[in-house]
Amino acid sequence: MNPRVLALTATSIATLIYGITFTVAKEVMPLYIKPFGFIVLRVGGAASVFWLLGLFLKKEQIEKSDYKKIFIAAFFGIALNMLTFFKGLSYTTPISGAVMMVTTPIMVLIFSSILLKERLFLRKIIGVVIGLIGAVVLILYGNNQEDNAENMMLGNFLVFINAASYAMYLVLVREVIQKYNPIVFVKWLYLFGFLLVLPFGISELLEVKWQVMPVSIYLKAGFVVLFATCVTYLFNLFALSKLKPTTVSVFIYLQPVIASIYALIVGSDNLNAVKIGATLLIFLGVFLVTKQTPATTNK
C-alpha cells in the first residue's frame, strides 16, 4: 500500500479512537479517578508498555542532542497538553472547550511556517479555514445545553494553551521522529512526560480506591491507556513521518463528527440539515488539506 495512504489511514484510526475516548474517559473520572491522577495513570501506563516493547527491539542509540528535543516535545505534547486540557475543561463548558480545541490546525499552520519554513499553499489555508467553520458550527449547534462554568475565561484560555501546545508538539516532533524507530522515540517521550506530570497527579492517584472499582471501569481505564494513548500516539507518529504536521492536525476537525455519529447511534441526538452541512464542510476542508497534487509531494 502507498505509504501516504497508510499514514492517512493511521491518523484516521487515531482520530476515531480519540472521538470514542471522550465518552469512555468520562465514565472513569472524576467518580473513580480524579483527572490529574488519571493523567499520571495514563502516561505512566503508556511509558511502561513502550519500555516493555522496547526490550524486543534492536538496541538503538539516541543522539545526546536529541534528548533535549524529546524532553521539549514531552513538555508540549504530554505534560502541558494534558494538564491544561483537563484543568481548563473543569473551568469552562464542554462546548467552549471543544471550539478552542479546533484552533489546533490553525496553530500548526502558523508554527510550521515559522519554525519549519513551510510554504503556505492557498489550498491548505482554504481547507483549514473551511474545516474550522464546519467544526465550530457542528460544535455550537450540536448542543443546546447551557452548562454552568466556574471560570469560563480562564478555562477557555487553558484549553487554548492546550491546543497551542499540541500544535507545537506536532511541529517539533516532525524532524526527530524520522531518525528513530517510533517505539524507541516514544518510550523516551513518555518517560519524560511521566516525570513531568507525576508531581501534579500523584496525590490524586494515591486516593484511588482500587478495590471498589467495577471490572468495567478497569477495562475502560485500560482502553484509555492502551488505545487512546499507546495506539494513537504511535499511529500519529507514523503519520507525521510521512505527512506534514498541518495534514495530520486537520483530522482534529473530524472528532466532533465522530462524536455526533456516536450520539446518533445511541439515540441521544438527531440529524438535520445544519449538521449535515457542517459535516460536509469538515470533509471538504480535510480533503483540500490532504489532497496531493502532481507538482507537490509529502504534503
The domain locations on the chain are 3-290
Cα 104-293-103 angle, rounded to 5 deg: 10
The pLDDT of residue 142 is: 58
DSSP 210: G
Give the DSSP letter string of 127-172.
Answer: HHHHHHHHHHHHHHHT-------S-HHHHHHHHHHHHHHHHHHHHH
Q: Whole-angstrom distance between the N-terminal and C-terminal Cα of the chain?
A: 18
What does the pLDDT profile of the chain (299 residues) look like in tens digits?
788 899 999 999 998 888 777 778 778 888 899 889 999 999 999 999 999 999 998 888 899 999 999 999 999 999 999 999 888 877 776 666 666 677 788 888 888 888 877 777 788 888 888 988 887 777 676 554 445 556 777 877 888 888 889 889 988 888 888 888 889 999 999 999 999 999 999 999 999 999 999 999 999 999 999 998 999 989 998 998 888 887 888 887 777 777 667 767 766 556 677 777 877 887 888 788 777 655 444 45
- Cα 271 to chain centroid distance, Å, stands at 26
